[in-house]
A and B are shown apart, each in its own frame.
Chain A
Amino acid sequence: MVTSAGSDDGERTLIARIAANDPVAFETFYHAYVRRAFAFAFTLTGVTDLAEEIAGDTMVEVWRSAHRYTGRARVATWVFAIAHHRAIGMLRRKHVNVVPLDVAPVAAVWDEPGSDRLGDGSAALNAALATLSPQHRAVLELAYTFDCTQAEIATIVNVPLATVKTRTFHAKRRLRAALERSSLRADAS
């Protein structure tokens, strides 16, 4: 799991210091969160350049909007919400679509240079995730990769809790179907 090492109280203190324009606090916060923001953006877009841009934008937005953080949600939830908003907006603006697995090789979507070191299971999972919509992918990634609760996911993607549950159900069903197809293809070859 890609989870935080710091306590939430400590992170809230960091946010308060960032709101007071403390660059040292921001640097600490950056190193604590940029990996998760980048990983989340990458899981949504599948493109490292876009993930880099989104992670950078997210960090800059944290710096600019720290004074608006009210503390109603966890700091991690807040950061994921910013990253999700940026990622969805960027996908919409740039008309970036995930290329279906059937018509393109996995490497075209998951262009991580070190993808050759992925095991078969991870490669199959990436390929199956690439067949899902960004909305379905987001709920699964947040739940399984980033260990968020469903209530937190609802806050991050800005939809009701019931919608998150429905999306999770359908996303898992489609993911399993894609994994099954991938398995059958592997057996046939």
Chain B
Amino acid sequence: MMTGDRDLEELFRARASTLPEPPPELFTRTMERIATPPRRANPIVAYWQRLGQRTELVFAVTAALLVTTFGLGQLLHAYSPGYGGTSERIATIKLDRMPTPPAAALGTPEFAADRDAAIARTASIALLVRDVPAALTALDTVARANGGLVTAINDSLPTDPGDAHTATLTLIVDARRLDAALTSIGTLGAQQARTATAQAIGDSIVDDRARLRNLRREETDLLHIMDRSGSVASILDVESKLADVRGEIEHLDAEVAEMQHRVATSQIDVTLTQAGLTVAPATPTLADHFAGTWHAALRSVVAGLTSILDAALWLVAFAPFWIVAALVALAIVLRLRSRF
């Protein structure tokens, strides 16, 4: 039997003359087809039809999208703070947008019923001032003018000629006058930093009040039981329970009062630094230089690794989008490669 390359060539050559010819009517049909303009198929429908012939690809892409979306949802649910269902909402709000509790409601027993109004507001401000003692006196005046007082002072006098005079103060002012107080404090020097926080504690106050009502009912019930005649042992037992309930009532009362105080007043932390001092930089030793270089290098490595991990997480999070984009790009490339 012939099996060499030359034999194969001979076989194919001999067979070539036996291959069928196209029928003559094919020419007529082809000319008719080119004479009629092609119907422009809807590209989306055409693509969908082609995709329908590759069911395994459709299933794979759909499954990948579903798995990725589900995984992403689980990740978000597990790690996002907004999904945790915490009872307290803490937010940093711009000062000019910070809500102020209604003046009429403040100080009344039911003010905490309005959960949205029960917001504990605090602020901090750092100032560069020319004269720290004068600024301390002015801050005391500001606190009093806004219905409050200075609750803490830490005045650090300079020990070396190059050191700056610094002081930190804690002011308590009427919550309704927090913005005015901050404006007044801001005029005392050059502002270096200014932050404000608002914490909604309405839910906590309402919860504590409900528990208080229950405990007071329980106290009344226990007193009724005490009034009945009974054995000494049972009376002692009821007395013990009554003492526990009263202790809890006092604790909750104090807690509610403290929260009401936090809503009615606002705390301001002020940091004062004496301005106008130029401190000569210390000349670093060779060891300091290398230590600094080493720490900088370590920080760079950590930052680099963090960036890579961040990028990986972004890639995973956006997987549904780039997988689809990649598939589309692949389809386009394959289509272009099939042409010249």
A residues in contact (CB < 8 Å) with B: 1-2, 23, 26-27, 30-31, 34-35, 37-39, 42-43, 48, 51-52, 55-56, 59-60, 63-65, 68-70, 72-73, 78, 81, 85, 92-93, 112-114, 117-119, 121-122, 125-126, 140-141, 144-145, 158, 172, 175-176, 179-180, 183
CB of A55 within 8 A of CB of B31, answer no
Per DSSP, chain B at the interface is: helix
CB of B22 within 8 A of CB of A72, answer no
Residues of A within 8 A of B23 (CB): 52
A42 to B21 CA separation, bound complex (whole angstroms) = 10
A119 to B1 CA separation, bound complex (whole angstroms) = 15
A144 to B12 CA separation, bound complex (whole angstroms) = 6
Over the window 19-49 of chain B, the binary record of Cβ atoms lying under 8 Å from chain A Cβ atoms (1 yes, 0 no) is 1111100110111011000100000000000
A59 to B15 CA separation, bound complex (whole angstroms) = 25
Partner of B15, one of A93, A121, A176: A121
CB of A26 within 8 A of CB of B34, answer yes
Q: Which 9 A-B pairs have the closest CB atoms?
A: A144-B12, A38-B22, A183-B1, A122-B15, A176-B3, A63-B34, A39-B19, A112-B20, A125-B11
CB of B30 within 8 A of CB of A144, answer no
Is B14's CB within 8 Å of the partner chain A?
Answer: yes
CB of A56 within 8 A of CB of B30, answer yes
Residues of A within 8 A of B12 (CB): 125, 140-141, 144-145
CB of A119 within 8 A of CB of B14, answer yes
Further 20 A-B residue pairs, CB within 8 A, beyond A1-B16, A118-B15: A2-B16, A2-B19, A26-B34, A30-B30, A31-B27, A35-B22, A39-B16, A55-B22, A56-B29, A60-B34, A68-B339, A112-B18, A113-B20, A114-B20, A119-B14, A140-B12, A145-B12, A145-B15, A175-B8, A179-B3
A144 to B9 CA separation, bound complex (whole angstroms) = 6
A175 to B27 CA separation, bound complex (whole angstroms) = 34
A31 to B29 CA separation, bound complex (whole angstroms) = 14
A121 to B340 CA separation, bound complex (whole angstroms) = 37
A51 to B337 CA separation, bound complex (whole angstroms) = 24
Is B285's CB within 8 Å of the partner chain A?
Answer: no
A60-B21 CB under 8 A given contacts A158-B337, A175-B8: no
CB of A69 within 8 A of CB of B22, answer no
Chain B nearest CB from A94 CB (Å) reads 11
A117 to B3 CA separation, bound complex (whole angstroms) = 23
Partner of A60, one of B14, B20, B33, B338: B33
Residues of B within 8 A of A1 (CB): 13, 16
CB of B18 within 8 A of CB of A158, answer no
Residues of B within 8 A of A176 (CB): 3, 8
Partner of A121, one of B11, B16, B21: B11
Is B53's CB within 8 Å of the partner chain A?
Answer: yes
Partner of B38, one of A55, A64, A183: A64
Residues of A within 8 A of B21 (CB): 35, 38
The 24 listed contacts between A and B (C-beta, < 8 Å) are A2-B19, A23-B31, A27-B31, A31-B27, A34-B30, A38-B21, A39-B19, A55-B26, A56-B26, A56-B33, A59-B30, A60-B30, A60-B33, A64-B38, A78-B340, A114-B20, A118-B18, A121-B14, A126-B15, A175-B8, A176-B8, A179-B2, A179-B3, A180-B1
Residues of B within 8 A of A81 (CB): 338, 340
A179 to B13 CA separation, bound complex (whole angstroms) = 16
Residues of A within 8 A of B16 (CB): 1-2, 39, 145
Partner of B340, one of A55, A63, A73, A92: A73
Give the interface centre of B9, B22, B34, B38 by most chain A CB atoms within 10 Å. Answer: B22
A179 to B11 CA separation, bound complex (whole angstroms) = 11
Q: Of all chain B residues, which has the CB nearest A176? A: B3
Over the window 323-340 of chain B, the binary record of Cβ atoms lying under 8 Å from chain A Cβ atoms (1 yes, 0 no) is 000000000000001111
Chain A nearest CB from B311 CB (Å) reads 32
Q: Of all chain B residues, which has the CB nearest A81? A: B340
A121 to B2 CA separation, bound complex (whole angstroms) = 10
Give the interface centre of A34, A59, A141 by most chain B CB atoms within 10 Å. Answer: A59
A23 to B18 CA separation, bound complex (whole angstroms) = 31
Residues of B within 8 A of A92 (CB): 53
CB of A34 within 8 A of CB of B27, answer yes
Partner of B11, one of A27, A42, A122: A122
CB of B29 within 8 A of CB of A48, answer no
Q: For chain B, residues 123 to 142, give those with C-beta under 8 angstroms from any C-beta of chain A.
A: none
Residues of B within 8 A of A69 (CB): 340
A34-B22 CB under 8 A given contacts A73-B340, A172-B8: yes
A26 to B33 CA separation, bound complex (whole angstroms) = 13
CB of B34 within 8 A of CB of A42, answer no
A54 to B215 CA separation, bound complex (whole angstroms) = 90
Residues of A within 8 A of B5 (CB): 172
